Amino acid sequence: MSRVAVVFTGGTISMVHDPAAGGNVPTLDGAAILARTPGLDAIADVVPIDLSRTPASHFSFPGLFEIAGVIGRAQTDPDVDGVVVVQGTDTIEETAFLWDLVLDRPEPVVVTGAMRTASDPGYDGPQNLRDAVRTAAAPELRGAGVVVVLHGSIDAADAVTKTHASALDTFKSLDTGPLGTVGEGGVVIARSRGPRRRAATDHAAEDVDLITAHVAMDGSLLDAAATRRPSGIVVEATGAGNTSYLLLEAATRAMATGSVVALTTRCASGAASAAYAFRGGGATWVRAGAILCGHLGGPKARVAVAVGLGAGLDRDGLAALLADPPGWGGLA
């Protein structure tokens, strides 16, 4: 039987309703979650690693690298076939992507959680955990990097997005589609993962800002951010990479003081490009020195810039890291 390490960090899967607090609070440790998950022993031999009961919105870069170390040590155990990380769903698309960037062993790493608490009649934690353990034990996922598994969908960490605040099927890979599905019948792989972005480091730049463009926007918000001289600024542009020319002028001032500026789209899928050449269009951003982010949305692009800077990459190295690898996601 396969052996799977399960790292518990908290999140909705660990929460119950507390009348005194007036809402859901982290309560269940790893043992309590496992006790609510019948049938695991028929899937794999589970090795629990109980780290914390931390809401996903509270994670820091140092904390995520600490978890990366725990994952990496579990992967090097010759008796472990795969690793599951249990966490809150609020930031899974960012945390899973960070681990995908910095971990490089073939043993599968599967990130999962729940959209319903243990107090809810529709508690989805046990099924998601069974599916995640089944995926981590599957030889088909060896070498596929970090994936996210919820509601029976297996999605690559660099492609998945939380598309709805509370729906059970919130996690989707809008540009590429899922890697496959998982359920009681096992794992079904629909497509291979393809090339991945990589950045070998154990820390990230803490001072990378994320700014979203919108209608009637000037450059004051970006100028205010730039007064701190941050290492990097990611701008989520409208459409295919376009903004007010005033925002571009502010970004140009920030780049002149040494900040790296990366440009992506605020759209849920697609990519920013240099297709438009009016003032504030994507082409003028690129000419000013901004780096395009491939199909990485704002939160993932911020993680990539922070990790890349932590790895000591120069501008060319960051541009290579942010760009879609050739053949990424099966896209032409």
For residue range 194-227, list pLDDT tens digits in order: 899 999 999 999 999 999 999 999 999 999 999 9
pLDDT at residue 327 above 90? no
pLDDT at residue 84 above 90? yes
14 occurs within a structural domain: yes
In this predicted structure, what is the pLDDT of residue 31? 97
Q: Are residues 223 and 95 in the same domain?
A: no
In this predicted structure, what is the pLDDT of residue 286? 98
Q: Are residues 96 and 183 in the same domain?
A: yes
How large is the angle between the packed helices 92-102 and 298-310, nearest 10 degrees? 30
Q: Are residues 122 and 214 in the same domain?
A: no
How sure is the predictor about 328, in pLDDT bands with cuts at 50, 70 and 90? confident
Residue 261 contacts residue 236 (beta carbons within 8 Å): no
Q: Are residues 155 and 290 in the same domain?
A: no
280 occurs within a structural domain: yes
pTM, entire model: 0.96
CATH classification at residue 25: 3.40.50.1170
Q: Are strands 180-183 and 153-156 parallel, antiparallel or unpaired?
A: antiparallel
Residues marked active site are found at 12
Span 286-311, mean pLDDT? 98
Span 133-157, mean pLDDT? 97
pLDDT at residue 237 above 90? yes
Strands (DSSP E) found in the chain: 3-8, 15-18, 23-26, 45-50, 82-86, 109-112, 146-150, 153-156, 161-162, 171-172, 180-183, 186-189, 208-212, 232-237, 260-265, 291-292
Q: Are residues 85 and 119 in the same domain?
A: yes
How sure is the predictor about 332, in pLDDT bands with cuts at 50, 70 and 90? low
Q: Are residues 40 and 143 in the same domain?
A: yes
Span 252-272, mean pLDDT? 98
Collect all residues with Cβ–Cβ distance below 8 Å to 207 and sequence separation of at least 6.
Answer: 228, 230, 231, 232
pLDDT at residue 331 above 90? no
136 occurs within a structural domain: yes
Q: What total number of domains does the chain contain?
A: 2
**Mean model confidence pLDDT for the chain:** 97
CATH classification at residue 294: 3.40.50.40
Give the end of a domain, one of 133, 159, 189: 189
pLDDT digits (tens, 9 = 90+) for 9-47: 999 999 999 999 999 999 999 999 999 999 999 999 999
- Residue 151 zone, left/alpha/beta (φ > 0; ψ -120 to 50; rest): left
199 occurs within a structural domain: no
What percentage of the chain exceeds 70 in pLDDT?
99
Give the end of a domain, one of 189, 220, 245: 189
Q: Are residues 101 and 245 in the same domain?
A: no
Q: Are residues 184 and 243 in the same domain?
A: no
Domain that holds residue 183: 3-189
Q: Are residues 268 and 174 in the same domain?
A: no
194 occurs within a structural domain: no
Give the end of a domain, one of 126, 155, 189: 189
Q: Which is nearest to 133 in space by CA: 157, 117, 154, 162?
A: 154
Span 250-274, mean pLDDT? 98
pLDDT digits (tens, 9 = 90+) for 263-292: 999 999 999 999 999 999 999 999 999 999
